[in-house]
Structure 1
Amino acid sequence: MSVNRSAEAMTIFAVVQAALFPVIHMGRPWLMYWVFPIPNQFGSLWPNFNSPLLWDVFAISTYFSVSTVFWLMGLIPDFAMIRDRATKPFAKKIYGILAFGWGGGAKHWQRFEELSLVLAGLCTPLVFSVHTIVSFDFATSVIKGWHSTVYPPYFVAGAIFSGFAMVQTLLSVMRKVLHYEDYITRKHIEYMNIVIVVTGGMVAVAYLTELWIAWYSGSRYEDFTYFSPGAATGPYWWAFWALIICNVLIPGLLWIRSIRRSFFWTFVISIVVNIGMWFERFDIIVINLARDYLPSSWTMFMPSWVDVAIFLGTMGFFSVLYLLYARTFPVISQSELKTILKSSGESYKKHHTEDEHHEH
Structure 2
Amino acid sequence: MNDTPHFLPATMSHRAVTEQVIDLPLRFPPCRAWRLSLALSCALLTLFLVSVIVLLVKGVGVWGNNIPVAWAFDILSYMWWLGIGHAGTFISALLLLLERPWRNSLNRVAELMTLMAVCCAGLYPLLHLGRPGYFFWTAPYPSTTGLWPQFRSPTSWDFFAILAYLLVSIAFLYLGAIPDFAALRDRARHRMAQVGYGLLAMGWRYDAAHFQHWHSAYRFIAVLAVPLVFAVSGGYSFLLDLGTMPGWHSTVFPPYFVAGAVFSGFALVALLACALRQFAGWDQLITLRHLDMLARLLLASGWLTAYGYVADIFMAFYSGDPDERVVTLARLAGPTAWSFWLAVACNVGVLQALWWPKLRRSPRILCCVAVAVLIGMWCERFMLLVTPQTRDFMPSAWTDAYFPSFWEVSLFVGSFGVFGVPFCLFVRLLPMISAVEVKQALDRARRQA
Q: TM-score, normalised by structure 2?
A: 0.74
Alpha-carbon distance in 2 for matches of 1:16, 1:111: 29
Alpha-carbon distance in 1 for matches of 2:186, 2:299: 42
Residue from 134, 159, 166 that aligns with 2:236: 134
Q: Alpha-carbon deviation of 1:39?
A: 2.3
**2:432 is the alignment partner of 1:331:** yes
Q: Alpha-carbon deviation of 1:44?
A: 3.3
Residue from 327, 333, 340 that aligns with 1:233: 333
Alpha-carbon distance in 2 for matches of 1:246, 1:104: 47
Counterpart mapping for 1:82-161 below 5 A: 82-161=184-263
Residue from 293, 302, 313 that aligns with 1:191: 293
Alpha-carbon distance in 1 for matches of 2:389, 2:181: 49
Counterpart amino acid of residue 158 in structure 1: G
Secondary structure of 2:204's partner? coil
Conservation of the 8 A alpha-carbon contact between 2:299 and 2:352: yes
Counterpart mapping for 1:195-214 below 5 A: 195-214=297-316
Conservation of the 8 A alpha-carbon contact between 2:247 and 2:388: yes
Aligned to 2:362: 262
Alpha-carbon distance in 1 for matches of 2:123, 2:394: 32
- Measured against aligned partners, the alpha-carbon deviations of 1:232-274 in whole angstroms (never above 9, x if no partner) come to 2111121111111011111122122221222111111011101
Aligned to 2:130: 27
Alpha-carbon distance in 2 for matches of 1:125, 1:233: 38
Structure 1 residues 216, 147: CA separation in 2 closer, same or farther (over 3 Å shift)? closer
Secondary structure of 1:250's partner? helix
Alpha-carbon distance in 1 for matches of 2:443, 2:178: 22
Conservation of the 8 A alpha-carbon contact between 1:243 and 1:279: yes
Counterpart mapping for 1:217-232 below 5 A: 217=319, 219-225=321-327, 228-232=328-332
Aligned to 1:286: 386
Secondary structure of 1:340's partner? helix
- Measured against aligned partners, the alpha-carbon deviations of 1:170-189 in whole angstroms (never above 9, x if no partner) come to 11111101111110011111
Secondary structure of 1:26's partner? coil
**2:411 is the alignment partner of 1:313:** no
Q: Alpha-carbon deviation of 1:346?
A: 10
- Measured against aligned partners, the alpha-carbon deviations of 1:108-151 in whole angstroms (never above 9, x if no partner) come to 00001111111111111111111011111111111111122111
Alpha-carbon distance in 1 for matches of 2:296, 2:407: 38
Aligned to 1:248: 348
Q: Alpha-carbon deviation of 1:308?
A: 0.5
Once the two structures are overlaid, the 10-residue window that deviates more, 228-237 or 238-247, is: 228-237
Alpha-carbon distance in 2 for matches of 1:95, 1:236: 51
Please, what is the CA RMSD of the aligned residues? 1.8
Alpha-carbon distance in 2 for matches of 1:230, 1:216: 17
- Measured against aligned partners, the alpha-carbon deviations of 1:186-211 in whole angstroms (never above 9, x if no partner) come to 11111111111111111111100111
Count of equivalent residues: 345
Alpha-carbon distance in 2 for matches of 1:294, 1:153: 30
Counterpart amino acid of residue 202 in structure 1: L
Conservation of the 8 A alpha-carbon contact between 2:116 and 2:419: yes
Conservation of the 8 A alpha-carbon contact between 2:112 and 2:423: yes
Counterpart amino acid of residue 14 in structure 1: A
Counterpart amino acid of residue 238 in structure 1: W
Alpha-carbon distance in 2 for matches of 1:205, 1:193: 18
Alpha-carbon distance in 1 for matches of 2:218, 2:224: 10
Conservation of the 8 A alpha-carbon contact between 2:330 and 2:387: no
Secondary structure of 2:105's partner? coil
Q: Alpha-carbon deviation of 1:77?
A: 0.3
Q: Alpha-carbon deviation of 1:217?
A: 4.4
Residue from 52, 60, 70 that aligns with 2:162: 60
Secondary structure of 1:264's partner? helix
Aligned to 1:173: 275
Counterpart amino acid of residue 270 in structure 1: A
Unaligned runs of at least 5 residues, structure 2: 1-103
Counterpart amino acid of residue 219 in structure 2: L
Conservation of the 8 A alpha-carbon contact between 2:172 and 2:221: yes
Unaligned runs of at least 5 residues, structure 1: 348-360
Conservation of the 8 A alpha-carbon contact between 1:13 and 1:322: yes
Secondary structure of 2:128's partner? helix
Aligned to 1:354: none
- Measured against aligned partners, the alpha-carbon deviations of 1:16-42 in whole angstroms (never above 9, x if no partner) come to 0111111122122122110111124x4
Alpha-carbon distance in 1 for matches of 2:330, 2:148: 43
Counterpart amino acid of residue 38 in structure 1: Y
Conservation of the 8 A alpha-carbon contact between 1:132 and 1:153: yes
- Measured against aligned partners, the alpha-carbon deviations of 1:67-94 in whole angstroms (never above 9, x if no partner) come to 1101000010000000111111111111
Q: TM-score, normalised by structure 1?
A: 0.92
Alpha-carbon distance in 2 for matches of 1:239, 1:151: 18
Q: Which has the higher contact order (CA 8 A, sep 6+)?
A: 2
Conservation of the 8 A alpha-carbon contact between 1:39 and 1:45: no
